[in-house]
Every structure is written in C-alpha cells, then in structure tokens.
Amino acid sequence: EQNKAVHEARYEEVRSSGVVAATLTAIEGTELTPEESLAESAWKLLTEPPTAKLSSVMLLSELYAPYQTHRGTTGRAEKRERRRYEVFLEIAGDTVLEQESVHKALDRYADKRQEQVSSASLKRELAMILACIRFTVKKHRLPIALSPPIIREGKPKPPRVLSDDEGKELLSLIAKPPVQGTWKEMAILLMLQTGCITTELQRLKADSLNLEAEIPYLHIYGETKTSSRERYVPLTVQVDRLRELKSELSDSEADSHGNTFALGKVFSGMDDSNVSHQLITVIRKVAPEAVAYSMRHTMKANGLARGIDTYSLALIGGWSGLVSSVMLGYGADSYASGPVMERLKGDLLKINSHLL
C-alpha cells in the first residue's frame, strides 16, 4: 500500500513524462518489461538520490554489525574491534552517514585520542574505523570520499622501567589483599619475571604453564605479534606460589572449544584495555607513571644491565629485532628441554636476582 501511494503521487507529478507507462504498470501490479524497469530505476535515481535516502536513515552506530558479519571475526579479535568502534562513538558522537558529518566525527576522535595514545596506536585505530565505514560506502556505492585525519607525528614515550627496589616492592604488594589470590597476582608474577604481555597471558592454556617439569617453564605461542614471539621461558621466581595460583585460577573444565586457560576463562575473556587498566592501578602504587608494558621493558633492561647476551634475551622475550628471525626460530622445538633450558634458566636467575 505504501509503494502504491508513492507511485500514485509520482504519477501526478510526472503525468507528461516518459515513465508514465512504467509507473502505471507498477501500480497495477503487473510485471515490468526490461525497458519499463530501466525507466523506473532511472527516474528513482534522478528524483531520489541514494545518498540522500541512505544518509537520512543510516547512522554511524549502525555500521559495525554488517561490517563484522562481512569480516567474520570472532572471539577476542571481534571483541577488541567492537570495543574500538564503541570508543569511537563515545568520543565522536553518533551522526548520519554523510561526508562532512563523518569527517567531523573522525576529527573529534583523533583530537581526543592524540592526548591518550601514541600516533602509531591512533593510526591503527583509525584504520579499523575507516574500514568499517568504507564497507557500507562501497556496498551501497555512495559518493562519499573518506580520508583519515591529520595526526601529529611524535616519537612515542617508552614505558617507564621499574627499579630493582620497585620490583621487590611490587612483589610484596601483590602478596597481600586485595590483590592476593586474584588473576592480578598471577599475571604480575609472570610478567615481571618473563617479560610476557597481557594478551599472551590471556591466550595462555593451562598446559602451556608447565610447573611440574624439571625446569618449570612458560610456553608462549599462538596469535603472537610475530612468529618470533613463540618461546619457552623458564620460571625462576616464586614457582611454588605459581603452583598454588594455577590450582586456584585455572579452568577445571574445558570451554566449548576444548580450551582450559591457565588464569581462568573469565580473565581470558576480558577486554584488553580493562586488563591493562586494572594492572596499572596496582603497579602505580609502587611505580608512578608505569604501565603494564613496563614489566617487559624492565626485564629487558635488567638483562642488559646484568650482561645477558642479546641472543638469550631474544629467546626469552621473543625480540626478533635483536637477532635474525630465522636464527631465532631455528630448532625452537628443542628449547623446552636440555641444555638450552638450562642456559636460559641461568640467565633468568641473573636477570631476576633482585626478586629472589
């Protein structure tokens, strides 16, 4: 009935035009000929531009769902992208899908985020946001040309390194309530002595934290930043406490994908920014301005200060820039046992000597 009313109104407007036959045919409900269908479509494009029609009803908040369906991302990757787009909307505000409005929203977001993150991080965020918007633009062939905001280039400030005294104070802090017995105690204990990062711990399966081996170790693998990040890292600090925490926190049953996580599925499913925020709250009680990533830089700095060679540091931290990636990965399957683990254990005892 609505379509009929539209056609009837248009018929009165274009009584003398060449599309009267097509309009009448549509009203009568009969099938259009190819010529009539073409005339009908041409008239609609002329009198009702798709940009105006779509922009009047589509908001930026409606773009993520079809983009995600097209991408097919799942799990933590999807959660990270969704949260990134939600933050964009929180800062920039929702608006219609129209070129000027979208560019103003992108500028508002960039101006705010430049105060909070490095230029490199902001570029990654904008790349995902623009990809989401461009998907709808391309899908509907909208005449909207998008360009990213201008970002002030600046060298990112390296994370603050913890002193030996701050490291010891942090260990004492996490051994007391309210941190004691939580995933935060276990995460900090692992990060401080191995240089691993939060996302690696969130993916850590229960059997990858082998505390019953002759040399207890942490096996990091999976969706690492580079293939070099896969590594076996001996554990040297408070291993007995780690056994207790693993017993308390690890999943007792596998999830729907057959996974059991070393720090529990609740921690594994948390948003990255939430994990970092909660760890920062603890760390800054002993080291102002430090962040969760500071523990990785601290481990490397301690290794260099204590004379550990770069190849050993690369094996422990997965830094491909220190040595050849090919060399780093060659023979990696044998690292979990034998002389290599003995060598790395000795190096980590030196690196973490202030924590023992």
Average pLDDT over residues 75-91: 89
Q: How confident is the model at residue 311 (pLDDT cuts 50, 70, 90)?
A: confident
The region of weakest confidence among 49-53, 202-206, 251-255, 341-345 is: 49-53
* pLDDT for residue 336: 67
For residue 162, give both structure tokens: 């913890």
Between 6 and 326, name the one with better pLDDT.
6
Judged by DSSP in three states, 55 sits in helix
pLDDT of amino acid 8:
63
Give the helix ranges, DSSP H, for the chain. 2-13, 20-28, 34-47, 50-55, 64-71, 75-92, 99-113, 119-139, 164-174, 183-194, 198-202, 239-249, 265-268, 272-283, 294-305, 310-317, 325-329, 339-351
CA angle 155, 160, 166 (to 5 degrees): 175
Quickly state the pLDDT bin for 55 (edges 50, 70, 90): very low
pLDDT above 80: residue 4 = no
pLDDT at residue 226, as a whole number = 47
- Mean pLDDT value of segment 45-73: 77
The per-residue pLDDT for range 135-165, each reduced to its tens digit, is 999 999 998 999 999 998 776 678 899 999 9
Max CA separation in the chain (angstroms): 93
Consecutive H or E run containing 209: strand 209-210
Cβ proximity of 299 and 317 under 8 Å: yes
Say whether pLDDT at 307 is over 80: yes
| Residues in the chain, total | 356
pLDDT given for residue 257 in this prediction: 74
In terms of Cβ atoms closer than 10 Å to its own Cβ (0-12, 13-18, 19+), residue 195 is: buried
Q: What is the CA radius of gyration of the chain?
A: 29
Mean of all residue pLDDT scores within the chain: 84
Question: pLDDT category, 173, cuts 50, 70, 90?
Answer: very high
pLDDT tens readout for residues 192-232: 999 999 989 998 999 999 999 999 999 998 654 544 478 89
CA-nearest of 206, 195, 263 to 229 is 195
Tokens of 330: 């060659």
Q: Is the peptide bond before 178 cis (omega within 30 degrees of 0)?
A: yes
- Starting at the edge strand that comes first in sequence, how are the strands of the sheet with 217-220 ordered? 209-210, 217-220, 231-234
Residue 30 has a pLDDT of 57
State yes or no: pLDDT of 121 exceeds 50. Answer: yes
| Local confidence band at 286 (pLDDT 50, 70, 90 cut-offs) | very high
For 209, phi then psi, to 5°, come to: -105, 85
Q: What pLDDT is recorded for position 346?
A: 96
Percent of the chain exceeding pLDDT 70 equals 77
pLDDT of residue 56 exceeding 70, the answer is no
Long-range CB contacts (within 8 A, 24+) of 324-329: 325/226, 325/227, 325/228, 328/228, 329/227, 329/228, 329/230
Determine the straight-line distance between the first and last CA of the chain, rounded to whole angstroms: 80
Q: Does residue 177 surpass a pLDDT of 90?
A: yes
pLDDT at 298 over 70: yes
Question: Which of 118 and 109 is assigned the larger pLDDT?
Answer: 109
Six-digit token pair at 59? 């908001």
Amino acid identity of 2? Q
| Over residues 272-282, mean pLDDT | 90
- Contact present, 239 and 211 (Cβ < 8 Å): yes
Apex CA 274: angle with CA 268 and CA 280, to 5°? 110
